[in-house]
Structure formats: structure tokens, C-alpha cells
Structure 1
Amino acid sequence: MAINIEHLVSSFDDVIYTHDVYIVSFFNDDIYTTVTHDPDTVSNWISEIERIHHRRLHRLIVGFDIKWNPSYSGHRNPVTTLHLSVGRRCLIYQLIHSPYIPDSLTNFLSDQNHTFVGVNIDSDLIKLEEDYGGFGATAVAVDLRDLAAEAYERNDLENAGLRELARGVLGKNVETPRRLTMSRWDKRWLTAEQVKYGCVDAYVSFEIDFTLNYGMDGLEL
């Protein structure tokens, strides 16, 4: 699996840390990934997306994912990070460490011209709503499993995971080590491995949707 990561910069407002920027290389694609807990940085990321994609804001596709800490009891831990990907720009927003949710993000998620795509995304949005007071409740969402099942006329794909869809639709193997899926996503400083795979999950969701809608190339699932 050809996935690499390079740290570009840590940014500060005066002496206050705001965010890190990485390049995550996924096969032949370089994804600029911003990791932050800072609401202003989130707003700036959204502004950049709207500037870059101003001609397609009426039909913007956004790869979507969330993370939370593993639970070893019946209690679900709260959502810790929100992952968004539009083209080769990714945001990992550390909700658990953010002082508040910026209006720009609430508006971005509730914009009916934006479609958020992922696996089991409806369940993820419910978790987000439960943990952050309605945040994301009105987002337009598409489950990639349903999209693939319709495209390939295979009902069994309604139960597929992101890895299976990536392999079948994109022809790319994406394997996440268990130590990462079971890692602490509430850490103040995410590791490079967490950033790498957190980015890829959202980016692959975007790429699967784009391929199914605009670039079906006959790969077999």
C-alpha cells in the first residue's frame, strides 16, 4: 500500500499554536491535510475550499468520517475528530479539544448544495448530533454502500466496508492496522500514523463517490 506522510509546517497565531499541515501521499495523489482544534483555522480551510471550488459549490462532494476512542464497556465514547475531504484538501478537526464549533462549519454541513459521502454516514451524523448538540443534523448524506450497490447491481454491497469498496471501485488496497483503529483519538497531539490514515479514510470516501458518479472504469467488486 503506497501511503506516506510528510509534515510541512506547524502554525502559530503569535505564540498560540493553531494547526499543523501535512502532505499525505496516497498512491499518485498528494493530499494537503490540515490538523487543528482551532475554530478560525477551520473557517479558513472552508474559505479556501469555497475559493478553489467556487464553480461547483452548487454540487460540492465532501468525503466524511469521524473517529472516537474505543470503548471496552457498553458506553460509547464521544466523537473526538471530524474528517472532511474535498479533492486533495483534507481537514482533521479535533472537536474534543475545540473551544466551540464555528458557524462556518455548521453552515458548511447544513448547506443543501453540499453532499457528504461515507460508509455508514447516517449513523456517524447521529453520533455527531448527539455529542455536539444538533451539529450536522441537517447535512445531505449519501452512504457509499448504497451507491455502489446500485452502480454494480449488487445488494450485498450494502454491507461492504470502506476497504472493500476502495479495493473494488478504485483498485486500491487500504489496510489500517488495528493499533490505529483502536488508538486514542482524543490525544492532543495526533501521531503521524493517525493523521495519515485519518486523512485517507475521508479522501477515499470522496474518491469512491467521484468514481462511481463520474468515472466508472469497469473494475470488478
Structure 2
Amino acid sequence: MVITVADDGDIPNPHYCNPLNPSTPQNPTAYVIIRECDVIFHSHTIRTVVTSSSSKLDSRIADTLAIPSQFHSTIVGFDAEWNPNTTAARNPIATIQLYAGEQCMIFQILHAPLIPRSLIHFLINPYVTFVGVGIVDDVIKLREDYSLNVPGFIDVAEFAAEEFNEKGLKNAGIKTMSLRFLGLEFEKPKRVSRSRWDRVCLTPEQVQYASVDAFLSYQLGNCLIGPEYL
């Protein structure tokens, strides 16, 4: 993929299609989504922003980098969603979820006309560690779909398998990990996980699903990963 940089330093999105005018895929006057809501999960309230706005993402990244950390690196819960691949063509990542500081950002990258320079720098920031379950696949796909690199990441399932010498944990899903280490039980219905993540307006179920995954990724990383790894 060839990357060209826009005048403001942002990068044109190779998968962007203006939902109001699909015939003009690089129209910068795109329909921009910004939704804010509280997602309730057990006793936790996850303050969530769903957006394709570059400026909103810029602001959230700045807030995250300003969070005081007792470690060398700031932990950020990370996850991504995309439409299920039902044909030979592979669907690109539709949303990126980032959780830190009691807030979740669901960035609808598929509907963003430009990929913000702030996101590019944030993902390669040596003082940020992205954590998740099965994060390796997300990181690889993000690089393949958008040429975005995430060098500083830890798969908490693989980390726990090695730390506790339990090989079975290596392939554990986030449900198993959350129940084992956080005592939190939840459901991951396939009707949501395999739904249309390319929607301009995500459903409440999708917002709940995406927010909880990023939240639990952060909590697992915060619980399991010691300062010597950060």
C-alpha cells in the first residue's frame, strides 16, 4: 500500500467511503459521527465515545497521554472489530477500541476520511503499551488494512500462560480470562460479534460489546502485567 500524506499531516484513508455519497470516496466533507454514552457493566460505568471525528480522537489521545502513570509505560486496552468475511474478499477493520482512564473511544476508522497523524504517533509511542486478548491478530490486520504499526503490545492470554506456567491459557478467550482473573462473567453473543460493524450508526448492543471488550482488556493488563514489563 502506498501512503501519501495530506497537507495537515493526516493520511487519506484507503478504505473510506462517504456514507452520504459513496461515489466520492475521498470527499473530506464527510458525515462525521460523534456519540457519547455510558455503558454499564456489572458495577462499572464505561464512559464511551463513538466517533469517526479526527479532532475528537486527537483530544482523547491527548487526554490518555496526560494520565499519570506509576510505570514507565501507560496501559491502553485495545481491540478491533470488522465485518465477518463471508466471501474471498477480506473486510477491513471498521472500528478500533481504545480504553484508558475510565473512558473508551470507539473510533470508526472505516468512516474517517483521514487517518489522524495523532493516531499514527500514538500507536508507535514507546511509552504506551497496548493490551488485549488475541491482540496479535488485530495488530497484524491493522497493519495490512491501513499500514498502521503497533510495536508495543502484549497479549494478556499469552502473558498469563507463561507467567503462571499454564499452557492452556495461551488460547483462552477474553470470557475465560475475565472470569479467571477478574471474577467478571459476561456473554459474547455471535449475533453481535458477527454483525455489521461497518454501520454508520452502531447499535446499542454493538457499543456495549465493543466497550466491554476494551475495558476488560485494560483491566486484565492492569491486573496481570507487572511494572518490570512496562
Paired residues for 1:145-184 under 5 Å: 145-184=157-196
Q: What secondary structure is seen at the aligned counterpart in 2 of 1:44?
A: helix
Shift of 1:55: 4.3
Paired residues for 1:1-221 under 5 Å: 17-51=32-66, 53-56=67-70, 58-132=72-146, 134-135=147-148, 137-213=149-225
The AA in structure 1 aligned to 2:180 is G
Contact 1:57–1:113 under 8 Å retained in 2: no
Q: Which has the higher helix share?
A: 1
Q: What secondary structure is seen at the aligned counterpart in 2 of 1:117?
A: strand
Q: What secondary structure is seen at the aligned counterpart in 2 of 1:157?
A: helix
Shift of 1:192: 0.9
Q: Deviations over 1:92-150 (max 9, x none)?
A: 00011001111111111100111111122122111111111x21x14301011111112
Question: Identity over aligned residues, as a percent?
Answer: 38
Shift of 1:76: 2.3
Deviates more, 1:17-26 or 1:75-84: 17-26
The AA in structure 1 aligned to 2:89 is H
What is the distance in 2 between the residues matched to 1:57 and 1:153?
25
TM-score, length-scaled by structure 2: 0.80
Q: Please report the RMSD computed on the Cα atoms of aligned residues, expressed in angstroms.
A: 1.6
Q: Deviations over 1:137-183 (max 9, x none)?
A: 14301011111112322011111111110111111112111110110
Contact 2:64–2:101 under 8 Å retained in 1: no
Aligned length: 196
Q: 1:182 to 1:210 in 2, by over 3 A?
A: same
TM-score, length-scaled by structure 1: 0.84
Q: Deviations over 1:183-202 (max 9, x none)?
A: 00000000111001100001
Contact 1:64–1:205 under 8 Å retained in 2: yes
What is the distance in 2 between the residues matched to 1:62 and 1:182?
24
The AA in structure 2 aligned to 1:41 is K
Contact 2:76–2:100 under 8 Å retained in 1: yes
